[in-house]
Amino acid sequence: KDGIEYFTKEGKYHLMNRYSPKKCKDEQKKREEVQFKYSFKNYARPEYFKQLEKMEEESKTQAERDAALKCSYCGCPEGSIKHKLCSACKKVYYCSAECQKQHWKATHKKECKLLRKKVDIFNC
């Protein structure tokens, strides 16, 4: 058996890109137009891409959970007392009224207006 046939049948390598029939002249692209054509991703197994997607999803959801459960001013995690949500933008959490006041004075006053506009755009 030919080595290439063996690997493609086993599904260990994705070699179709390199050994497939050439395209018609009008469909062909120049080498400069296609960067990284023969990179590792062209030869990776499908499981590799599934695992990448899974890892990205997990990191996004974990980051969202971490951001949502911490006070936006002092960074303390949510404990037995639930954090309160900013009533205007509904994007930041506070552990106490004091943290809310301090954050409002420091930076959130400007941020809140921008966040409210984004919320209003999506609610229209």
Q: How does pLDDT run across 58-72, given as a tens digit for each residue?
A: 887 776 766 667 888
| Alpha-carbon distances of 93 from 82, 83, 122, rounded to whole Å | 9, 6, 21
Q: How does pLDDT run across 42-60, given as a tens digit for each residue?
A: 677 788 888 888 988 888 7
Assess whether pLDDT exceeds 80 at residue 34.
Answer: no
Per DSSP, what are the bridge partners of residue 70?
77
Query: pTM for this structure?
Result: 0.43
Neighbours of 44 (CB within 10 A): 13
Q: pLDDT category, 31, cuts 50, 70, 90?
A: low
